[in-house]
Structure formats: structure tokens, C-alpha cells
Amino acid sequence: MDAYDQITRNASEVVTEDEVRSLAEDPDGKRAYVGYEPSGVLHIGHMLTANKLIQLQEAGFEVVVLLADVHAYLNGKGTFDEIRETATRMQEQFVAYGLDEEHTEFVLGSEFQLEENYALDLHALELETSLSRAERAMAEIKGGDTVTVAHAVYPLMQALDVVYLDVDLAIGGMEQRKVHMLARDTLPSIGEDAPTCLHTPLISDLSTGVGKMSSSSGVSISMEDSEEELREKVNKAFCPPSRDPDPDDDGNARDNPVLQIFEYHVFPRFGEVVVERPEKYGGNLEYDDYESLAADLDSGELHPADAKGALADYLNELVAPGREKIREQRS
Ligand code: IYR
């Protein structure tokens, strides 16, 4: 796989392709980042962008994780002290997941976002941005029912983070894309470059295959799930015995979350998959890539129940170190 393919593997979109190609020419020492509003427990959405960071480390990038405490505060997630404490716990869980501290720079937003220059640049961006544009950018991120002034400031700060963290590539789930587009449009007005962005897909709801799996609604997978809980959630997951005929069609097509988790979580971290089956049902199946596993589910060679059994095993392995860490944090 060449550097460009490695960087863009499993991405839903990159903005722009040319800019990412130029980063891929010499990835060594380039900086990429993801920002997370601190929350108590990592869930599968955090793990998806973390997988991308791990892949980028393998491609030679320096990786920055922003623990966006001020953003979480602006988004109504609690008192500042509570959020700070959560940030520490979240950092430990990321390390347990595989973002080791030696190769990952963890930064708290409040370390630089409260400085004078940052505040003045923020006000300059405020002058350049209409309220309605800021509100639109926040549609998929905003917590709570009321739109507040804080929600208008939030995306502008996210834009400035790219400048102050001096990163070459901003990563986020597809729900971040409007904030990133706003950043691309407004940063040049204060003399800064438009950031290059990479967006990861959203995994559909585990039980229905419709909408996105999130921690606030529906069934989500998190680092605190026990092995039994994981098995139960995966066993109940929507997994038709063939894949979505057109994964790009967002209409009414239901996605297959079991396949998505194989594609975005299991293959990137394990490289290959073994589905264990008793000899009388044909014996074990081994897959070197996602496509061959999905093809076997399509053809009926791989039964959904066997796919789910294997998925629960691999997920359990991914989650186990973080689960252990959470146990320590609570004791
Ligand atoms: N908006 C993100 C959190 C966030 C991301 C980045 I990239 C920042 O620079 C700051 C905050 C979220 O929804 O979690």
C-alpha cells in the first residue's frame, strides 16, 4: 500500500485529495490531530478516529490528541473542573487502546486556548463569520436543545486549533465536516492556510443499521462493556446475510454495522481475521482482508452468527486493556 492509500484507508472523504497527496509525498514528521470533548468512557466512535491516528503514526506522522476541555464546556458538558478530571481519564484510556504516550502528544485545550493571542485571533474570526454559518456548522455537534452564543464560538475555536497546534492534517468523523469547511473558508481571512482534512465514516446504529451509532441513543459499544455485554450487543446487531447493495446510497438502505466494525475496527488493528467454526460446519475461515470476508457473507459461505461470534472476540480484545484501566480508575 503506498503512503496515500495508507493515509486515506477507510476515510469517507479527504479535503482536498491534492493536498493529501502532497502530504503523502513525505509524511515523516507531518502532524495530524483529532480533538475530543472529554467524556468519561471511550466509545466506538472515539476508537474509529484513534485507529486512523494509529495508521498515521505507522505512516510516519506525528500525532496530536487534543482533549478539548474548553469545547466540552462551551457545549454544556459540565463544570470546568468535572471536564478536566474526565480529560485525564480519557487520556489514560486512549493510551490503553494503543496510542502510546511516547508517540502521541496529548494537549489540553485550556493550555493554549485562554492565551491573549488566541483570544484576539478568535475575535478576528468572529468578525468574519455570520451567526447562521456558525450555527449550521454545529448542527451535528451541538449538545442540548438551545443554541447559545457559546455554540457560535465553538467552531471558530476549532478552526484556530489547527493553527495553534501547528498541524498539517485535521481528522474527524463526518459530523465534523461543516466545522472544517468553515475553518477552510475563514482561516485565510486572518492570513492562515486552509486546513487539510480527513473525515472518517459514521458507523450505523448497531441494532437497526439506520442512523449513526452514538453513545447518547441506541446501542453503542464502549470501553466499559464486559465480554458478556459485548457478546449480547453483537448478537442482537442487525446483520442481514448479505451486504448493503450500495453503501454510498444514504436513502433508505440499511447498512450492516457488523461488517462496518470488521472493516473499520478489526481489520485495521488485527490485519487478518479467523472465524472459528467446528469441523462439521466446514472448519475455520481465514481472511486477509475485509473484502473477502464481506464476499463470503454475501455468498452465504459465512453465516451471520459465525461472523458475530468472531466480531465479539475481536472487539473484546480491543476493549480489554481500556476496560482494565477504567476498573483501576474507579477503584
Ligand atoms: N468538535 C469535536 C471536538 C473538537 C475537535 C477538534 I479537531 C477541535 O480542534 C476542538 C474540538 C467533537 O465534536 O467532539
Tell me the ipTM for this assembly.
0.99
- Atom 9 in ligand 1: residue holding the nearest Cα: 158
Which ligand 1 atom is the nearest neighbour of the CA of 33? Answer: 7
CB 238 within 8 A of CB 257: yes
Distance, in Å, from the CA atom of 76 to the CA atom of 149, rounded to the nearest integer, reads: 12
3-state secondary structure at position 27:
coil
Distance, in Å, from the CA atom of 136 to the CA atom of 150, rounded to the nearest integer, reads: 14
Which ligand 1 atom is the nearest neighbour of the CA of 155? Answer: 1
Distance, in Å, from the CA atom of 257 to the CA atom of 265, rounded to the nearest integer, reads: 11
Ligand 1 centroid distance, CA of 273 (Å): 32
Q: Which CATH architecture has domain 227-330?
A: Orthogonal Bundle (1.10)
Q: Is 55 part of any known ligand binding site?
A: no
- Atom 4 in ligand 1: residue holding the nearest Cα: 35
- Atom 13 in ligand 1: residue holding the nearest Cα: 141
From 66, 77, 164, the mutation candidate for ligand 1 (largest count of ligand atoms within 8 A of CB) is: 66
Distance, in Å, from the CA atom of 233 to the CA atom of 102, rounded to the nearest integer, reads: 34
Predicted confidence at residue 11, as pLDDT, reads: 98
Task: List the chain pLDDT tens, one digit each, 331 residues.
Answer: 899 999 999 999 999 999 999 999 999 999 999 999 999 899 999 999 999 999 999 999 999 999 999 999 999 999 999 999 999 999 999 999 999 899 999 999 999 999 999 999 999 999 999 999 999 999 999 999 999 999 999 999 999 999 999 999 999 999 999 999 999 999 999 999 999 999 999 998 898 888 777 655 567 899 999 999 999 999 999 998 876 666 566 555 678 999 999 999 999 999 999 999 999 999 999 999 999 999 999 999 999 999 999 999 999 999 999 999 999 999 9
Ligand 1 centroid distance, CA of 109 (Å): 10
Predicted confidence at residue 204, as pLDDT, reads: 87
Predicted confidence at residue 246, as pLDDT, reads: 64
Backbone φ and ψ of 108, nearest 5°: -85, 135
- Atom 7 in ligand 1: residue holding the nearest Cα: 35
Q: Read off the C-alpha cell for 74.
A: 462551551
**Which CATH entry fits the domain spanning 3-200: 3.50.50.60, 3.40.30.10, 3.40.50.620, 3.40.50.720?**
3.40.50.620
Sequence-distant (≥ 6) Cβ neighbours of residue 279 within 8 angstroms? none
Q: What is the DSSP string of 218-273?
A: S---BTT--HHHHHHHHHTS---SS--S-TT--SSPPP-HHHHHIIIIIHHHHSSE
- Atom 6 in ligand 1: residue holding the nearest Cα: 35
Domain-wise residue ranges, the chain: 3-200, 227-330
Distance, in Å, from the CA atom of 180 to the CA atom of 141, rounded to the nearest integer, reads: 12
Q: Which residues approach ligand 1 with their CB closer than 6 A?
A: 34-37, 66, 68, 71, 141, 158, 161, 170, 172, 176
